[in-house]
Amino acid sequence: MRLGLSYLIQQFLNILQLGSLYALIAIGYTMVYGVLSLINFAHGDVFMLGAFIFFLAALWLKLPFIPALIVTVCVTVCVGVLIERLAYRPLRNAPKMSAVITALGVGVFLENFTLALSPYPQHIPEIVKNRAWVMGQVTVSSIQTIIIAISVTLMVILDFLVRKTRFGMALRAISWDISAVPLMGIPVNRIISQTFALGAALGGAAGVMYSLAYPVIDPYMGIMIGWKAFISAVVGGIGNVRGAMTGGFILGTVEIAVTMFLPSTYRDIVAFTLLFVLLIFRPHGIFGTARSVKL
């Protein structure tokens, strides 16, 4: 029987790996949506940039893994903050649609800009020596361990930031009502910049780890992964940080389950059908509650 216990444990590890990548990116979507009510379409491309910069840092600067990761995160943070500063901030008071289209435009710009610099896809050299530990019939690779460990650590730190710090309080206040916040002495622009910075940091880190696990990068890789992460955010109820993490693991589970029973090409159909159905029947996510609109 293919569906033995060790097979299930193996798949569970795969779910953890895929799910935590989705969760990391989903947090970026959900936090920005929380503060600006804006779907930051460019976020998937920040993830792509993460993979790309990591590739350059490892290939040109010959950095080992940890320094390369730090350099990458620093660069993506700058990119994330710059995008907000240059493209979204001028549109803060414009109609919502202008901002969303701008986000789409920024995304396409990042993709094509990356493509224009060099021909892709390219292979990432082996930066972390991939060892495999075999325990019974279960194989655990060092890359898998690194991905899961780093992701979980980052998520715990973020959860602490959102729940326990002044920044987190301000963030939640803005999500609640952006117009009342300046009255309470909260520096809105700074909090928004910090939100973008955090989101981009997690997105960049996810890009690095993704390229460890799947070492082929191309400029359009952020579209599909970004959308999957966005689905995770919607599943968890957009605007809700813990929801986004849970959503990431739910989508990971669904996708791995699909590949267990169907050809892997059906994965996207299932993921997007899930989104489609969810939006129609539970637009505020599995855990979310609808905010009533006053006439």
Task: Write out the residues near another protein by the rule CB under 8 A.
Answer: 37, 39, 87, 90-91, 94-102, 104-109, 112-113, 115-116, 223, 227, 230, 234, 263, 265-266, 268-269, 272-273, 275-276, 279-280, 283, 292, 295
What is the distance between the alpha carbons of residues 213 and 237, in angstroms, rounded to a whole number? 28
Query: What letter does residue 139 receive in the DSSP assignment?
Result: E
Amino acid occupying residue 27: I
What is the distance between the alpha carbons of residues 149 and 156, in angstroms, rounded to a whole number? 11
Q: What minimum distance in Å lies between the beta carbon of 33 and another protein?
A: 8
Q: What minimum distance in Å lies between the beta carbon of 49 and another protein?
A: 14
Token couple for 276? 């489609």
* Nearest residue (CB) to another protein, 154 versus 222: 222
* Nearest residue (CB) to another protein, 70 versus 87: 87
* Nearest residue (CB) to another protein, 128 versus 223: 223
Q: 126 CB contacts (<8 Å, ≥6 apart)?
A: 215
Query: What letter does residue 182 receive in the DSSP assignment?
Result: G
* Nearest residue (CB) to another protein, 107 versus 252: 107
Q: What minimum distance in Å lies between the beta carbon of 291 and another protein?
A: 12
Q: What minimum distance in Å lies between the beta carbon of 29 and another protein?
A: 11
Phi, psi of 209 (to 5 degrees): -70, -35
Of the chain, the end-to-end C-alpha distance in Å amounts to 59
What is the distance between the alpha carbons of residues 245 and 155, in angstroms, rounded to a whole number? 8
Q: 121 CB contacts (<8 Å, ≥6 apart)?
A: 216, 217, 218
Among residues 18, 161, 27, 38, which one has the least CA distance to residue 94? 38
| Crossing angle (nearest 10°) for helices 188-213 and 5-36 | 160
Q: What minimum distance in Å lies between the beta carbon of 214 and another protein?
A: 19
* Nearest residue (CB) to another protein, 146 versus 254: 254
**Where is 133: in which H helix or E strand?**
strand 132-135
Contact between 85 and 193 (Cβ < 8 Å): yes
* Nearest residue (CB) to another protein, 157 versus 277: 277
Q: What minimum distance in Å lies between the beta carbon of 2 and another protein?
A: 23
CB neighbours (10 Å) of residue 190? 11
Amino acid occupying residue 187: P
* Nearest residue (CB) to another protein, 7 versus 266: 266
Q: What minimum distance in Å lies between the beta carbon of 230 and another protein?
A: 8
Q: What minimum distance in Å lies between the beta carbon of 211 and another protein?
A: 22
CB neighbours (10 Å) of residue 170? 22
* Nearest residue (CB) to another protein, 203 versus 285: 285
